[in-house]
Amino acid sequence: MRMATKPGQSNGYDVAENGLRYLIVRPEKGGLGDLFRYAVTGNVVSGLTFLESSDDGVLDEEAPDYRWVIIVSIIVRKIIAVIGKPMEWVGYLVDFVLNLLSLNGNLVGLLYKILHGKVVLPRRGTETFISTIGQLDGRIDLYKGESLARDIGGSVFAEGAGVEVEMEMGNRALMDLCIMASKLAYENAKVVNNIVVHHWKMHFVNFYDCWNDFQKESSTQVFILCDKPKDANLILISFRGTEPFDADDWSTDFDYSWYEIPKLGKVHMGFLEALGLGNRTDTVTFQNKLLGSHGESNSDDAIRSPSKGTKPLSRHTDSDMGQGGWDQPSTSEGEHQPAMVEMTAYYAVRSKLKSLLKEHKNAKFVVTGHSLGGALAILFPTMLVLHEERELMQKLLGVYTFGQPRIGNKQLGKIMEAQLNSPIPRYFRVVYCNDLVPRLPYDDKTFLYHHFGVCLYYDSFYVEQKVKEEPNKNFFGLRNALAMHVNAVWELVRSFIMGYVYGPEYEEGWFNILARLIGLALPGISAHCPTDYVNSVRLGRERSLQMSSF
């Protein structure tokens, strides 16, 4: 029998018999010979060495029909596994060098300070240590400046202000806050607190660094802010996205593994693990956390640390920032136990959100994120729907994602569109030009993953169109290769003239230009940078002409 043995079965729990279905792609399980036979000859037996599933039916369906997308997933993730450590080392070096230069007045200033023995060394985790993403795009101020809260409050929250019209159009001030918060999520807690409080004049609530079962470390980062400390109108939740030199983040984006939630649909397994909603090494945990009492199991397995109690699974900076300790939610009304709240991003954020909405009676909340953070941003309300959190969903103002990968199948999309786009659209998926990540995982008329919701697509002239799907939706292929590389040349040229055309705040520095040079070879990677998403929101203009990917 080809069905993989599941840890849950050893405890007398038969996953397949209980109707739970999943597929896990494990690149480490097979060799290059197996991959060659599966790719070239279509040998299904060789392909099965890489696959683990709930039942033979899944294997018989997936292995032949989805062969090429599985092969791509395996090859890319094998490459990422090989270069993972070098990527990490390069990332540390790049972070150090960029911060060393910025703290010492760039190259000339650094040379001067070396000669005078006054070099300032960067210290990771401090208020002055900026991420690679932050170095690519140094803008920190909101486009509307200190009037943002008034702009949002006046157009979205005030009585009789035409909320339906504003949300349908996509509130620009709110979109700008969301992309800037998505970019800010890449920073450490002290940087986030400083910018939110001193530059945005808003109220910093929490920063969480939670356990990710896919990456086996506390790597799911998310922060929460309010537009003001009392009687807030807006609560914003921002998830951190794919870090440029984090191999595990990229491996998550290229993972094809899925878990099927009854009556909801198939969901990307890596994203579920990033929210702390299951563990592929013991697939029964998905059942416990997703479907038990609205996902709130009191079993020992649910509240025990994945690392068997050897280290804390999440931390935040409440004590550092003068915000008090963790929320200790009441166990009445089925509220989840504190141990689970500390363990996972989903439960930590949901618990804090409930307490904030009780404190701020008129507030609504927005969820946002870039890249992987965008996937988690839309998955968060998806789980609220699954757990029948109707009161929370009524308070959801919108979800704005930027460069977000696909999270599930068509069934999931149809259900969530009914929840988020009726009576008015509340989910906006922003895609810039040739960005690779929104084209992942692969999708066509036979494959599994599909986008849903309103897509705001911006070409390389920052012209916006509302579409169902971005052009060249799967990225790979020779037909669009030439156009993408020509477009990358234009983006490089554009980087030299942005400051002259649009003003000093759009001027691109040497590090950004270097990223554009890399884009000549890998246009889909350079197009993923938040810089173009900030520009799209601030410079974007609509048109009704035929769309192109250029």
313-335 burial by CB neighbour count: b if 16+ within 10 A, else e? bbbbbbeebeeeebbebeeeeeb
Residues in CB range of 61: below 8 A, 6 or more apart: none
Q: What is the 3-state secondary structure (H, E, C) of 434-445?
A: CCCHHHCCCCCC
The answer to whether the bond into 338 is cis (omega within 30° of 0) is no
Closest CA to 255 of 284, 223, 213: 213
Q: Where are the alpha helices (DSSP H) in 66-162?
A: 67-103, 106-115, 132-136, 148-152
3-state helix, strand, coil in the chain (%, to 5): 50, 15, 35
Q: Residue 371 catalytic?
A: yes
d(CA 114, CA 265): 59
Closest CA to 246 of 282, 273, 281, 219: 219
d(CA 467, CA 529): 21
Map residue 238 onto helix, strand or coil: strand
Map residue 366 onto helix, strand or coil: strand
d(CA 256, CA 52): 12
| Catalytic residue (one of 371, 495, 526, 536) | 371
Q: Give me the residue label for tokens 């032949």.
A: 64
Q: Give me the residue label for tokens 């804090």.
A: 352
Q: Give me the residue label for tokens 């620009």.
A: 172
In the structure encoding, which two tokens stand for residue 499, read together? 């400051």
Strand 21-25, strand 258-261: pairing: antiparallel
| Catalytic residue (one of 435, 443, 459, 532) | 435
Q: Write the CA distances from 510 to 138, 193, 514, 516, integer angstroms.
A: 12, 27, 6, 10
The answer to whether the bond into 423 is cis (omega within 30° of 0) is yes
Q: Write the CA distances from 524 to 82, 420, 537, integer angstroms.
A: 21, 29, 19
Residues in CB range of 320: below 8 A, 6 or more apart: 189, 190
Q: Give me the residue label for tokens 């993923």.
A: 528
Q: Judge contact between 257 and 407, C-beta under 8 A.
A: no
d(CA 198, CA 388): 37
Q: How many CB atoms lie within 10 A of CB 213?
A: 26
Closest CA to 192 of 114, 262, 134, 265: 134
Q: Residue 435 catalytic?
A: yes
Which sequence positions are flagged as catalytic? Answer: 371, 435, 528
